[in-house]
């Protein structure tokens, strides 16, 4: 597969101002997604996964304190273009997004088919009936009967709603789909169905995903590469195999150890301490207060850069420097 980059994020920043101070939700992250590839961003709640998605899609809340960096979409730095151009070049056939919380992401007073067709009507000036027939195609693609297009959101089950949202995101034929926790608030069976659907779409139609989740298992199912986020930063990024098996960052390691396993006779370990306060993040490596391998005078003083940990595998931990050096 030729590595043609669809999305490249450089030093992306998104800070919110709150009454308590500035929350560094996304604090200078870098990653890239190639065509046909799936990058999973995993991390616990409040680590800045969803904010990353919002920053890329430029759907900012009102209390933004800082917003910067570069986001290259194909050959265009979309951080530099104005809202109208952004709409034309990115929202249309560019990047689309599936939001978390399928239950509330559909307007309860608009028919499903009209809602799925909306992006086409808004952006591509489709006529309503053409757009609706496209919407029916999209519904078929996600395994729904086009007849449900006549229904309203409250008549559908959670899984069906999530499928509708996926149909809505792919109806405009985007180059990359951002999936923001697409299976949260769904039961395990429905979750598996949705994951199978996403996998099928990827294999058959070659979709490119940016898959945001807190579930390491789900990430490994769908992703080619995984980025682990902690406190607004990416702490480890690499292929699935590298991150899951040749783990380099202590946080990733402990995160993997905390997942209960079915077949091995092993108790899940937990990570001591609590996630850092993003208003006053710890000095140095933000994981150092919880890290068992802390090097005093180094980890709590200097922020580690992304260090080489193998081909296409990076982690930000001073231990790697010691290893290599």
Minimum separation from the CB atom of position 165 to other proteins (A): 8
Q: How far is CA 266 from CA 259, 262, 263, in A?
A: 10, 9, 9
Minimum separation from the CB atom of position 103 to other proteins (A): 9
Minimum separation from the CB atom of position 303 to other proteins (A): 32
- The answer to whether 248 touches 309, Cβ cutoff 8 Å, is yes
Minimum separation from the CB atom of position 271 to other proteins (A): 30
Minimum separation from the CB atom of position 119 to other proteins (A): 4
Q: How far apart are CA 161 and CA 106, in angstroms?
A: 8
Minimum separation from the CB atom of position 181 to other proteins (A): 12
Please identify, using beta-carbon distances, which residue of 38 and 96 lies nearer to other proteins. Answer: 96
Beta pairing, strands 233-239 & 307-308 = unpaired
- The answer to whether 321 touches 305, Cβ cutoff 8 Å, is no
Nearest to 56 by CA among 140, 226, 176: 176
Please identify, using beta-carbon distances, which residue of 22 and 122 lies nearer to other proteins. Answer: 122
Q: How far apart are CA 251 and CA 271, in angstroms?
A: 8
Q: How far apart are CA 321 and CA 324, in angstroms?
A: 5
Please identify, using beta-carbon distances, which residue of 76 and 122 lies nearer to other proteins. Answer: 122
Please identify, using beta-carbon distances, which residue of 135 and 255 lies nearer to other proteins. Answer: 135
Please identify, using beta-carbon distances, which residue of 51 and 252 lies nearer to other proteins. Answer: 51
Minimum separation from the CB atom of position 212 to other proteins (A): 14
Nearest to 303 by CA among 271, 276, 274: 276
Collapsed DSSP state (helix, strand, coil) of residue 239: strand
Residue count (the chain) = 325
Q: How far apart are CA 127 and CA 131, in angstroms?
A: 6
Please identify, using beta-carbon distances, which residue of 115 and 213 lies nearer to other proteins. Answer: 115
Residues found near other proteins in the complex (CB under 8 A): 57, 59, 62, 87, 91-92, 96-97, 99-101, 104-110, 118-119, 122-123, 165, 168, 172
Please identify, using beta-carbon distances, which residue of 171 and 222 lies nearer to other proteins. Answer: 171
Phi, psi of 134 (to 5 degrees): -60, -40
Q: How far apart are CA 315 and CA 283, in angstroms?
A: 18
């Amino acid at each position: 597969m030729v590595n043609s980059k669809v999305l490249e994020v450089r030093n992306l920043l998104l800070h919110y101002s709150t009454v308590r101070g500035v929350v560094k939700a996304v604090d200078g992250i870098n990653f890239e997604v190639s065509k046909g590839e799936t990058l999973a961003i995993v991390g616990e709640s409040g680590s800045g996964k969803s904010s990353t998605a919002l920053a890329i899609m430029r759907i900012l809340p009102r209390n933004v304190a800082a917003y910067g960096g570069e986001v290259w979409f194909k050959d265009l730095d979309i951080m530099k273009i104005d809202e109208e151009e952004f709409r034309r070049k990115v929202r249309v056939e560019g990047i689309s997004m599936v939001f978390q919380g399928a239950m509330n992401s559909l307007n309860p007073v608009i028919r499903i088919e009209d809602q799925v067709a909306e992006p086409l009507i808004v952006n591509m000036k489709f006529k309503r009936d053409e757009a609706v027939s496209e919407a029916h195609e999209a519904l078929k693609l996600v395994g729904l009967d086009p007849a449900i297009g006549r229904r309203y959101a409250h008549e559908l089950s959670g899984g069906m709603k999530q499928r509708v949202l996926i149909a809505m995101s792919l109806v405009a034929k985007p180059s990359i789909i951002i999936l923001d926790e697409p299976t949260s608030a769904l039961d395990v069976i429905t979750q598996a169905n949705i994951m199978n659907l996403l996998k099928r779409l990827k294999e058959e139609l070659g979709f490119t995903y940016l898959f945001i989740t807190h579930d390491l298992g789900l990430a490994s199912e769908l992703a080619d590469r995984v980025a682990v986020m902690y406190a607004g930063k990416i702490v480890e990024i690499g292929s699935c195999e590298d991150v899951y098996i040749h783990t380099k960052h202590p946080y990733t390691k402990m995160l993997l150890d905390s997942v209960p396993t079915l077949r091995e006779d092993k108790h899940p370990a937990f990570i001591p301490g609590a996630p850092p306060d993003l208003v006053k993040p710890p000095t140095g490596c933000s994981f150092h207060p919880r890290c068992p391998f802390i090097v005093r005078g180094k980890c709590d003083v200097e922020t580690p850069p992304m260090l080489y940990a193998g081909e296409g595998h990076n982690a930000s931990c001073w231990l790697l420097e010691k290893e290599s050096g």
